[in-house]
Structure 1
Amino acid sequence: MSTCSQPCARELPDTLMWIIGMTRHLDSCAAQEDRPLKVRFYGKLGEKLGAEIEVDPPTGTDTIVKLRNVLADMFPYASADLQQRSRACIADSIVGEGHKLAGIETVEFLPPLSGG
């Protein structure tokens, strides 16, 4: 009995299914990258900029700090609040300045909280 390195006919459907699955996954990723990013603001930022905006960040805007810079350029009157006085939140978690935005749909900026 000889063995061959090529997929046999009964294995081909599994291979095709894998290719189809990968193609759908890649299409989904590409569609997600083309989607605008939702940015929500609370406190003073929400009053100045509105509760939610959608932005198409320029290529290379891949971290929170770069997004802050883009938003500060778009809204110079809110620059100090955007860059110094707010915390970024993604999926109910406070994230650092270097947090990657890949695959993220919504970023929220929270004002500093004060106790009372």
Structure 2
Amino acid sequence: MRVLFFGKFGERFGPAHEVETEPGDTPITIAERMFDADADALEALCHRSTSYIVDHAVVPSDHVLDKAEELAFLPPVSGG
């Protein structure tokens, strides 16, 4: 699966990665597998204000990634 990081996540983790998926994977389990040794990264990626996009559709953090081709992590955005 292609995993994309946007905004400050892309700056910190790099813009794109390829990850092997397992049955039952969710955005959270992918983050845990990729960054299991980095508590700060996991806190940011699993935060309730992070958005998860699967194949161009916004999904909840517990969405099962069956046959998905792409997962994107979007950080919270502020502006005025």
* TM interval, short-chain normalised: 0.7 to 0.9
Task: Give the TM-score normalised by structure 2.
Answer: 0.80
Q: Return the offset for 1:95.
A: 0.5
- 2:28 is aligned to 65
Of structures 1 and 2, the larger Rg is shown by 1
1:86 aligned to 2:45? no
Which amino acid letter does the alignment assign opposite residue 5 of structure 2?
F
Which amino acid letter does the alignment assign opposite residue 109 of structure 1?
F
Q: How many residues align?
A: 78
Relative to its length, the structure with more helix (as a share) is: 1
Question: Gaps (5+ residues) in structure 2?
Answer: none
Aligned match for 1:108, one of 64, 72, 76: 72
Structure 1 segments of 4 or more deviating over 6 A? none
* Correspondences of 1:7-86 after superposition (within 5 Å): 37-57=1-21, 59-73=22-36, 76=38, 77-84=40-47, 85-86=49-50
CA RMSD after TM alignment: 1.9
Q: Return the offset for 1:108.
A: 0.4
Deviations 1:31-71 (A, max 9, x none): xxxxxx100001111011111011124x3452222222222
8 Å CA contact 2:51–2:73 kept in 1: the answer is yes
Relative to its length, the structure with more strand (as a share) is: 2
Q: Which has the higher contact order (CA 8 A, sep 6+)?
A: 2
Task: Give the TM-score normalised by structure 1.
Answer: 0.58
